[in-house]
Chain A
Amino acid sequence: MSTAAVPNPPGGSLTPAQRRLAADPRITADWTRRQTAETNLRALVGRAYPRVRGMFREPSWVIFEILLPFLGTSAYVMVYRALKAPEEYVGFVVLGGALSAFWLNVVWSMAGQLYWEKSQGNLELYFAAPMSLMSVLLGMAAGGLAMSSTRAAAVLVISASVFGVQFDVQEWWLVGVVFLLTLTALYGLGMMMASLFLLWGREAWHLTNVMVEPVYFVSGLNFPVGRLGAIGVAAIATIPFAVGLDAMRQLAFPHSDLLVGTPPPGIEALILVAMTVVFTGASRWCMTTIERMARSRGSLSIRWQ
């Protein structure tokens, strides 16, 4: 632990470690842009760490995050097959089941996270640290992504093999782009919701419940969203899960005549870009506003407010 103050070289440039141990706090406090950026990046990795570590440390998630969703997906597959529905429906359900991992993660592990961090006392320490709070949000998102991607991949592979789903992907690059854009839009929304939940407090939990089943329905989790008509179009315009899922279905089953009433995947990719920009920008604005309000009201560290 022993540390010794470093004499300051006259006019010399200091490494972050030297700066930290400089003989004058005014030098320690004077960070370069690079140091600030590096700290934000490190904070992102640091905040993602508990989520990734927890994934390996608590293997029970395999049951809750893979087995149970697989059973849910299986039930719809059975229903469609019993009704002798076109085989594409099985593919739609499998894709929906895989992508729902991300939505659940956004709703349960992103949206309520800052509120939980506040009740644990972590939030105060985050605010008091020199990194940007966006790093914390991005770290939460990155950690959540790692977990959800594993679940999504597992559900997709298992379901596709068990039910013999044949995907007919012809534009792999666009699938990749749409998938990434879906994730950025989804987690952008998650970051924004995390800020809003913090602002609204306990009432936010009711919102969480509203955001699962109703969103599944209007997003067409187990059926093509275009079948909902105007509601489906509205969902495509506002919910990243809905637009991402529809675009992935269109790309996985390009010749299906069941996917009607929604824009083509290219347009939906642009919608996802717009959503990413709006949600991420809004989350940044929310965090700044919340910090300002918290400092002014004193509600930042008061657990019961």
Chain B
Amino acid sequence: MEIRLRILLLTLLLGLSGSLSGCATLRHLFGHDTPPPPGAEAGASTDRTTEDDSTPPRVIQPEVERRKVKVPRIKSQDIEVGGYLGTLNVEDFGAHRVFGVQVAYHVTEDFFLQAEAGRSKAGRTSFETLSDISLLTDNERWFKYYDMSVGYNFLPGEVFIGRNHAMTSSFYILAGVGATDFGGDSKFTGNFGAGLKVLPTDWLAVHVAVEDRVFNSDLLGVNKLASNLEAHMGLTFFF
């Protein structure tokens, strides 16, 4: 009796599984999901095309509208503007405070064009101090310059403050030309230098730079190449 009941239940189960094999989940369950051979697929598709040819054009046109995406203008930050403060050693006239402004345009990640303008007030030469004779008027002691330079970023890296803060940094070298107004005369000036730039955020940079400004000077009677070394710290913002 019990065996008969079991056979009956098993037959019912088999019958059910056979009739439900169309159901995707059950097909998957019973391993019926093997793909049909490629020939069969091709045959099926050709059947479909012949069927499409014979059928009249569809009455309902699919109205699928393409999603329109409006791309907002991506803000660029290629321009860097800032100021600096440091020390300028005016040859023969001592080292004094210098301040200036700088603007840079970053053309690529490597190259940038930079313009600087600064001023410093030179002191007295040793001769003036000892003899009490003034070679220049007070106004002529203003050392005013501007330059246009090409810069190159290299040695990119990171600097770390403590355990949790890292800031990107980069060294750069630059060279350019400009003019210097000093001692009642304007001089064509060449400048070259190097600096370190640290970025606490993407829009702010702290610069430490050393530059030399070289021009032909005949201020003290003989024509010579005057070398004016400048070291400064600056703060710039990216726009």
A, B from the same assembly? no
